With several copies, the nearest count.
Chain A
Amino acid sequence: MSSGRGFRALFPGKLDADQTPDDLCVVPQRPAGSLITPVPVPTSVTKTRIILGLILASTLGLFAGVGGYTFYYGQGFSYLSNDPKACVNCHIMREQYDGWQKSPHHAVATCNDCHTPHDLIGKYLTKAENGYNHSKGFTLQDFHEPIMIKPRNATVLQNNCVSCHVQIVDGINTHAGDPKKMLDCVHCHRDVGHGPIH
């Protein structure tokens, strides 16, 4: 099995020694005042424009991390695709890739289905940020091993579980992103993505 998952129920998100759980309230809280009124969902035109902008942004994110030629050589563009092979370009993702191939989700969800927001805007923004982190980590080899998911990405993940499984968890309040009320799927289903880690 997996283990230790429960810990995140105590401290949603992975905790640095001096962080308090409140620091981990990483998902946007509803801003105060007038902003609470829902904004209209972008029309398809604006959407496309935003997407293009974001692709650029995420490319820049990667670029900032590794620079142009390196970006090319490191197959940076594939990073923007949905193909899990893009992830395993980095041997560091090998373990998760191998696990994923054996996992119950293999046929139904790719890495990005779980690890990037399903809305296009969030998707490329996340990619931009993670692209930067991953490239930096990979290049400098200064990341914590084993890799442990960061609070922000854990929230993305939770949102994705819920959005696919909204029906089955319909009877339960899931509160994604609220560190106090969230029912952390991974507390019990640690192994869904890449199989058991032991």
Chain B
Amino acid sequence: ATIALMLLFQNIKTRKAEAKDHVFRVVEVNDQTADPAVWGKNYPRQYDSYKRTVDVERTKHGGSEAFQHLDDDPVWKRIFAGYAFGTDYREERGHAYMLTDQRETERVTNPKFKQPGACLQCHASMLNAYIDQGLKAGAPAGKENWEAQIQKGFEVVCKMPYSEATKLVEHPVSCVDCHEAESMNLRVNRPAFLTGIRALAKSDQPTPHLPSIERWRKDGHKGEYNPNTDATRQEMRSLVCAQCHVEYYFKGEGKLVTYPWQNGLKVEQIESYYDQVGHKDWKHKESGADVLKAQHPEFEMWSQGIHARSGVACADCHMPYQREGAIKVSSHHVRSPLLNVAQACQTCHRIPETEILARVVSIQDRNKALLDRGEEAVVSLIGAIAEAMKRGATDAELKPARDMQRKAQWRLDFVSAENSMGFHAPQEAARILAEAIDYARQGQLLVLALKPAAITASAP
């Protein structure tokens, strides 16, 4: 009895502390409120930093200056030959720009690329657009059908032409895309993410960095894994980002955004998924290989790193706490942590800022050197195949070499498209590049082995 009393006593105390957790709700905000400025009235500190994602500042290998990658490193023009990315591919910048950057990229403006509404899932505050469209398309009403509404709307919007779909939205990612209005708890809602993470949960790939998935499996795979109820808060601090910072493709005629995680998150597991479903992103213009494009697999790469394994979330580094007067808040100025080492790294790593920067740069420089090496190998292979084609080598003869190009280029692009220049998982990124180099060189060997035959074939 004494014990029970004491426990209650303890409990009251805790709740008293939490009760202080007050915020002045000056306006009514709910899940239908799309405009961040309205939310900003209740949470002015977060809103102020959110707005600062317009800032432009460069770091050695990252930052927010939208320079043209294709000019910076022209080999990529050749690697992307025949694909939209070969025309316009820039360094990404702050969240504030996501919608305009998408609307203005040549990958969208050039009518030959015919982009679908699917593109918007990650470039706008889509939640309410999806719900509206879902309801219109006949999804059942009511809060309890929230997911069904979103899913339905998602299906409608994905296959719309981009020019039409983009009219449905006006804000870049906004408060409602990450927060539940009532509690301000984090919440995920992107359909492609929910489907993807559930497929991952159903696989038997270990996920030491996502303990809630392992727990769900241990508890007997009941129903669907649901991050919003199953995941810890610390996991949610990464999962909200994993809604968008991931590899994807558009599946089938419906153009459904799909995350290829069924076999796991590693580069070769994603590849095996694409091989299984017979997906290619395009036929390489110079070599004729059926190749894949990798896009921003930050979540996947982070998953293989030591920080993820140590429970360090995206938000820990990219949205660190920051003092605002007497209280601290999450910086919503999402950006390179290297622009903010004191908050982003130094609470955990008590070493001088210059030393932290030196460590990161040493990791990134090593990665960059391997990337350069990999680019050279892949480009050599492309050249070799093109050359053999000129000499009259047949598709059947070139198949093995082209398969090697697909493998090599996929790996190379995976590390290149990942935006931390290897930092999120240094050893894993190096491993991937080693494989890229190996496959590219093996492809060249296959071509070279053909040489005499090809010469014979092309001889008059």
Contacts and interface: CB of A to CB of B under 8 A. Distances in A.
Q: Do A and B bind each other?
A: yes
Interface of A: 1-12, 14-17, 20-22, 27-28, 30-31, 35, 38-39, 41-42, 50, 53, 66-70, 73-74, 91, 117-119, 121-122, 125, 138-139, 144-146, 148, 159, 162-163, 166-177, 179-184, 187-191, 196-198
Interface string B329-359: 1100000000000110011111110110000
Contacts of B307: 6
Given A166-B17, A183-B234, A197-B348, 4 more contacts: A4-B348, A6-B316, A168-B328, A176-B17
Given A5-B348, A170-B327, A41 B4 contact: no
A180 B224 CA distance: 19
Contacts of B23: 171
Contact of B22 (A7, A27, A41, A170): A170
Contact of A14 (B22, B45, B321, B352): B352
Nearest to B324: A171
Given A166-B20, A172-B328, A121 B9 contact: yes
Contact of A10 (B185, B234, B329): B234
B112 to A, nearest CB: 47
Contact of A21 (B18, B211, B310, B349): B211
Interface string B184-200: 11000000000000000
B219 to A, nearest CB: 9
B233 A183 contact: yes
A112 to B, nearest CB: 16
Q: Is the interface of A mostly helix, strand, loop or mixed?
A: loop
A139 B17 contact: no
Interface residues of B, number: 57
A15 to B, nearest CB: 5
B288 to A, nearest CB: 47
Contacts of B209: 10
B350 A148 contact: yes
B232 interface: yes
Interface in B1-37: 2-23
B215 interface: yes
Contacts of A14: 350, 352
B327 A190 contact: no
Nearest to A66: B8
B181 interface: no
B165 interface: no
A4 B349 contact: yes
A68 B9 CA distance: 10
Contact of A187 (B6, B14, B311): B311
A170 B185 CA distance: 15
A71 to B, nearest CB: 10
B326 interface: yes
Contacts, number: 199
B316 A173 contact: no
Nearest to B211: A10
B323 interface: yes
Contacts of B143: none
B70 interface: no
A117 B347 CA distance: 25
A91 B17 CA distance: 11
Interface in B53-70: none
Contact of A188 (B13, B17, B22, B316): B316
Nearest to B218: A20
Contact of A38 (B7, B12, B14, B321): B12
Given A9-B234, A181-B232, A73 B311 contact: no
B232 A70 contact: no
B64 to A, nearest CB: 24
B121 to A, nearest CB: 28
Given A9-B311, A170-B21, A122 B9 contact: yes
B3 to A, nearest CB: 8
A179 to B, nearest CB: 7
B75 interface: no
Contacts of B347: 146, 188-189, 197
A28 B234 contact: no
B311 A173 contact: no
A41 B9 CA distance: 7
A3 B233 contact: no
B234 A146 contact: no
* Highest count of chain A CB atoms <10 Å: which of B7, B22, B45: B7
B447 to A, nearest CB: 47
26 contacts: A6-B307, A6-B316, A7-B311, A10-B209, A15-B352, A16-B352, A28-B11, A31-B8, A42-B9, A67-B5, A91-B326, A118-B13, A119-B13, A139-B8, A148-B346, A159-B13, A163-B13, A166-B17, A170-B327, A171-B21, A171-B328, A172-B321, A177-B14, A181-B233, A197-B347, A198-B311
